[in-house]
Structure 1
Amino acid sequence: MFRRGAPEGDAASVAGSGRANAATAGPCAASLPSRPDSPSFASCMLLTACQSGGGSTGAAPASTPADGGSSSAASPSGASPSAVPAGAASRPASPAPLPTSHGTTSATPACAAGALTPSAAHGLEPNPDHTYGVLLNLANSGSRTCLIEGFPTVAIAGQGDPTRSRPLKVTPEGTAHPVRLAPGGRAYLKLTFHEVMGEADGYCPSGATPAAPPSLVVGAAGGRFQVEMGDGGGNFAECDDIVRTTAFLSDQP
């Protein structure tokens, strides 16, 4: 027949083994029951096994970054690195705004030749220096405001034909400024010629041959405009093929 429990020799061996490990098994092993078949013996042995088996895993691991970031170890200088806002290194600086011009000159286009209409010339009284002047203007016949600026070219039309014109030497008078022409506005010019002296065909004090063309050709705004003498007609009698001219003016001189 089988007896309940283990043989006494085996029990003593187990009990001795349990006490021999008391130093490493903890407080439970120090009070190990002498009978291995008692319930308290089995419980104490189980607790001892759990404590000895979990000792290697219970130690706290070395501190590592939780999110895979850089190590928190101190730098060789001992100074903590400065915090940098997220995105600050990759975000470029915003460019400074460009200055804005408030002038009207650059926004107003130059007058086109097709938008200008010449007036007839009006002769002035001779000057004491044997010169005389004529006034004329160019009107903005277009639908938009435009700018005209500078000095014109002047030629005398051979036999009244602009294609056979002979250019005159132009001497500028004064300073050129932009003239803003609203639709219907006018820009004025004053031309001054050397007067032909005497009667009939006349003569030039310089000895040059006088000329008396029926019209002038005035160059401006990239075009050429034929101008006739008003005041009942007449010719542009001149000497030396020289003319003094103002720049375009906003007011009649």
Structure 2
Amino acid sequence: MIAASAALVVTGCQGDDGGDGVGSGTVAGSSSGAASVSVSPSGSAGGGVSEPGKGGASTSASASASTSASASASASSGSVGGAVEACAAAGLEAAARQAADRPDGTGTGAVVVGFTNVSGTSCVLGGHPSVAGAGNGSPEHNSPLAVTRTGSAPSVRVAPGGTAWVKLTFVQVQGEGDGYCVSGADPVVYPTLVVGLPGAGKHQVALDDGVFAECDDTVTATAVSLAKPS
């Protein structure tokens, strides 16, 4: 598979907003429980809190300890925690390549788009992308594709130099030459696509080994993920 070229953050062909799902700004972490509650190294609440002369531990203290332990476990597993800024458009570099797993046909079929964090600090991405065929000169000339979203869309923290991914699957072109669409529509070819992410701007991408050929102006898109799709 030939790797796609790094793409530009669009100037002439992009709008101001990204895709749908998560706004820009700060992602706040979870608050811990009461300070009077101790948590053992294994993450369980230790001892509870008792009033002088009382025998039983406080139920609310146990609940707070459970919440605190859960938040700590979430942070250690790589979930978004603490105050982490959403990724800025200027801090991302996008690139596209044909996917290994794509529908049968003679068009593009499917592509994988990677967004690499070049900002030097961790940032957050999330949601599903918007997709449009790039027009000439201004965003008004772009041709939006109808996006069918698949999968849940939790926010992910992208470390400096790390990459988050989406996969775009098109209605495949059939036949040789100019090809045809099963629906009866004419195939459409775009030299570049504009792929937007919620709160992270819109990015123009191209393929090193061809153009984006699709039918029916529709695309199925996965949510942003740290797992690279095939």
Structure-2-length-normalised TM-score: 0.60
Where do 1:73-88 residues align within 5 Å?
none
Secondary structure of the structure 2 residue equivalent to 1:212 = strand
CA contact (8 A) 1:159 1:213 kept: no
**CA distance in 2 between partners of 1:129 and 1:173 (Å):** 22
Which of 152, 158, 161 lines up with 1:184 in the alignment?
161
**Residue number among 209, 214, 223 corresponding to 1:238 in the alignment:** 214
Pairwise CA RMSD = 2.6
Identify the match of residue 129 of structure 2 among 123, 139, 152.
152
Question: Aligned residue for 1:175?
Answer: 152
Corresponding position: 1:119 with 2:95: yes
- The unaligned stretches of length 5 or more in structure 2 are 1-63
Q: Which amino acid aligns with 1:209?
A: D
For residues 209-236 of structure 1, give each alpha carbon's deviation from its aligned partner in whole angstroms, at most 9, with x where no partner exists: 2101111000113411001013x3x111
Structure 2 counterpart of 1:109: 85
Q: Which has the larger radius of gyration?
A: 1
Query: Which of 207, 223, 226 is matched with 2:204 structurally?
Result: 226
Mapped partners of 1:125, 1:159: distance in 2: 31
Per-residue CA deviations over 1:107-147 (Å, capped at 9, x if unaligned) read 11111111111013234354259982111100000011011
- Other-structure match for 1:11: none
Please show how residues 204-223 of structure 1 align to structure 2 within 5 Å: 204-220=181-197, 221-223=199-201
Farther-moved stretch of structure 1 (186-195 vs 154-163): 154-163
> Is the 2:94–2:115 Cα contact (8 Å) retained in structure 1?
yes
May I ask how many residue pairs the two structures share in their alignment?
Answer: 155
1:138 corresponds in structure 2 to 115
Query: What residue is the counterpart of 2:51 in the other structure?
Result: none
Is the Cα contact below 8 Å between 2:86 and 2:124 reproduced in 1?
A: yes
Which whole-Å CA distance do the structure 2 matches of 1:229 and 1:159 have between them?
18
Higher strand share goes to which structure?
2
Please report how far the alpha carbon of residue 161 of structure 1 lies from its aligned counterpart in structure 2 after TM superposition: 6.8
Q: Secondary structure at the match of 1:119?
A: strand
- Partners in 1 of 2:150 and 2:189 — Cα distance? 23
Using CA pairs under 8 Å that are at least 6 residues apart, name the structure with larger relative contact order, 1 or 2: 2
Distance in 1 (CA, whole Å) between partners of 2:173 and 2:228 is 26
Instruction: Find the aligned partners of 1:200 and 1:161 in 2 and give their Cα distance.
Output: 31
Query: C-alpha distance in 1, partners of 2:126/2:112?
Result: 17
* Closer, same or farther: CA 208–243 of 1 in aligned 2, 3 Å: same
Unaligned 5+ segments in structure 1 are 1-98
Q: Deviations over 1:148-203 (max 9, x none)?
A: 00101000113597552100000011111222111100001110001111112111
Q: 1:229 to 1:161 in 2, by over 3 A?
A: farther
Please give the alpha-carbon distance, in whole angstroms, between the structure 2 residues aligned to 1:197 and 1:119.
26
Residue aligned with 1:114, SS: helix
Q: 1:126 to 1:161 in 2, by over 3 A?
A: farther
Please name the residue that 2:224 is paired with: 248
